[in-house]
Structure 1
Amino acid sequence: MSYPSNFRVADLTARDARLHAFRSDLADARLKGEVAADRFVAGRPARITAAVADIRKAPRPDAGVNTQALFGDDVLVFEVAEGWAWVQAERDGYVGYVADTMLGGREHAPTHIVSAPRTFLYPGPDLRFPISGQLSMGSTVTVTDAAETRGTHYAVLPSGEALIAGHLRPLGEVATDYVSVAEMFLGTPYLWGGASGFGIDCSGLVQLAMRMAGRNVLRDTDMQATTLGEPLEPGPAFSGLRRGDLVFWKGHVAVMTDADTMIHANGHTMLVSREGLRDAVARIGYLYGGPTGFRRP
């Protein structure tokens, strides 16, 4: 598992169940000696095969969604029971339950990542075919062939399905400005726990945008407020802020796009939208208080 380079367990807690797979009856074998459990098991490698997989708090369809995994994400599976798998995402360490039908093997090494906010899967290299699926930015795929139909270039997958080649970039090729990536999601619906181009929340937007710029960060707002970059003094009337700085409230985060304006996925508009920082401080403060911190990634 690859945590951010500046992540320290002590910054959160060694027993944060969001980032450590342990229950009273079962736990990750790597935690033996640190937590109490009836049994310890090694995680079995698997990969997400659904476009978006909800990671839930409990193994029930009505349980709350904490976050989401995307097509191609690698996970470790600690238990499968009654249609649910208890997993830990390898990219950010998040633990929870996914439907076991959304898991597959790791037969093919990913070669490319989806770089458009959303894209379609076709049963073959022709945009006139009825689509066979859709993928979000951040999904990873294995490209085995290329094709061209009527001047449109396609990337072909092992299944024979095809994607628009221009919607992909090779793994390891990253965006130079994570804020520009975040701005691509303007108008995307707000979704609690959402982490995809189909619906996203505030910390999900930060995480996905930074991932596309080559930086893996933790998932939840409190984690980001503790581990991301360095604390920042915003100055009088927030005059010290610049593009890319992060503004935190209790349970919320926004990205500055310039000295005065921010972008955030928010429950006020139920969209990813722009808002003046001072307007947001006044509006949010009425119900939830002022900003709790500022950080420069």
Structure 2
Amino acid sequence: MEKLDRRLHAFRRDLADTRLKGRVEADRFVEGWPARVAVPIVNVHSAPSTTAGMDTQLLHGEDVQVFEEADGWSWVQADADNYVGYVESAGLEMKTEHLTHVVCVPRSFAYPQAELKTPPLRCHSMGARLHVSAHEEKRGTRYAILADGSAMIANHLQPLEQDDGDYVAVAECFLHTPYLWGGCSGCGIDCSGLVQLSMQMAGRACPRDTDMQENHFLHEVEQAELRRGDLVFWKGHVAIMLDDERIIHANGHTMTVAIESLELAIERVARLYDRPTGYRRP
């Protein structure tokens, strides 16, 4: 049998994705059924428990395949990047609405009506996908009306088919966002989550974890050749080149998304861990 990455393939000893039949051993193979994230953010855990490690997050409107639902937990695989894990079932719904727009600012509120003075119902992260059914203007502010009747600031959303082009500029929007292990939202983000979400907003596919990203982007460059948009990899960490001297990264040193000198970062990290493992040009 093949040795497959459990982060990217849904298989356990007792249960596996039917598409893996013949590639893995399992007591039972099942076909997944589609569902969609129905809340602003769901945490993806390594086991069906809120105390289990959080590996990543999924945002409103992201689609998944569900392979098991039991005791309030669903074992799922994300359609966008194939990541596998456990989410609380209450955060999922059947796929019904046609999604039209995506949040294009780090965070934005949904209000009960087209009135920014009303207490917000929830907060969506950049990357959240939504269905806009209408628009309304009040006192010069244009609102997007969502399927449930709630309203968001219209210029905080963009059509799904539109992308931002420059993924580094997207990453800069997250400056000072708190660092969160496994986070990939405007409420908290980790190093590889920053790379992935920024690239997705720029219309580029990107795997989730640092090792996956280093193996995905194969165009190697030398440190002296680095320019804006290149990636610097350490074991378990990744940073984005802001220009030929500075990086932007979500990091455990400042516990934020921060900008710093690449040379100083290399010296600082080397004292505790090691030097970069490679430089890549996406």
Identify whether the pair has TM-score above 0.5, normalized to the shorter chain: yes
Alpha-carbon distance between aligned partners in 2 of 1:228 and 1:44, rounded to the nearest angstrom? 31
In the alignment, the residues of structure 1 paired with residue 206 and residue 33 of structure 2 have an alpha-carbon distance, to the nearest angstrom, of 23
Report the residue type matching 1:144 in the other structure.
S
Distance 2:94 2:122 in 1: 19
Which structure's relative contact order is higher, taking Cα pairs within 8 Å and 6+ residues apart? 1
| 52, 67, 92: which one aligns with 1:78 | 67
CA–CA distance in structure 2, aligned partners of residues 14 and 86 of structure 1: 20
Distance in 1, Cα, partners of 2:246 & 2:144: 38
Alignment counterpart, residue 253 of structure 1, candidates 234, 238, 250: 238
Report deviation, 1:14: 5.3
Q: Deviations over 1:156-179 (max 9, x none)?
A: 111001110000000110112100
The CA distance in 1 between the partners of 2:154 and 2:266, in whole Å, is 42
Does structure 1 residue 268 correspond to structure 2 residue 253? yes
- What residue number does 1:189 align with? 178
Runs of 5+ in structure 2 lacking a partner?
none
Aligned-residue offset at 1:233: 2.2
The match for 2:148 is: 159
Taking the aligned partners of 1:259 and 1:42, their CA distance within structure 2 comes to 48
- C-alpha distance in 2 between matches for 1:125 and 1:212: 26
Cα distance per residue 1:33-59 (max 9 Å; x no partner): 111111111111000011110000000
Q: Which residue does 1:130 correspond to in 2?
A: 119
Describe the superposition over 1:207-232 as per-residue Cα deviations: whole angstroms up to 9, x where unpaired: 00000000111000000000025122
1:112-136, CA deviations, whole angstroms, 9 ceiling, x for partnerless residues?
A: 0000000000011110111000100
Q: In the alignment, which residue of structure 1 is the partner of 2:204?
A: 215
Instruction: Supply the AA of the counterpart residue of 1:290.
Output: R
Residue 175 (structure 1) aligned with residue 164 (structure 2): yes
SS in 1 for 2:149: coil
- Counterpart of 1:31? 20
Matches of 1:133 and 1:229, distance apart in 2: 40
Q: Distance in 2 between matches of 1:291 and 1:153?
A: 47
Note the alpha carbon deviations across 1:227-251, whole angstroms, 9 max, x for none: 02512222xxxx2110000000000
- What secondary structure is seen at the aligned counterpart in 2 of 1:174? coil
**Alignment RMSD:** 0.9
The match for 1:147 among 128, 136, 139 is 136
SS at match of 2:250: strand
The one-letter amino acid of 1:240's match is E
- The aligned length equals 281
Partner of 1:286: 271
Give the AA of the match of 1:67.
T
Q: 2:110 aligns with which of 121, 134, 137?
A: 121
Q: Deviations over 1:184-228 (max 9, x none)?
A: 000000000000000000000000000000011100000000002
Q: Which amino acid aligns with 1:266?
A: N
Q: Helix, strand or coil: the match of 1:182?
A: helix
- When the two structures are superposed, what TM-score results if normalisation uses the length of structure 1? 0.93
Structure 1 segments (4+ residues) deviating >4 Å = none
Where 1:231 maps in the other structure, the secondary structure is coil
The answer for unaligned runs of 5 or more in structure 1 is 1-12
- Give the share of equivalent positions with the same residue, in percent: 56
Cα shift readout 1:137-168 (whole Å, capped 9, x = no counterpart) = 00000011111111100111110011100000
TM-score, L = length of structure 2:
0.98
Matching residue's letter, 2:253:
H
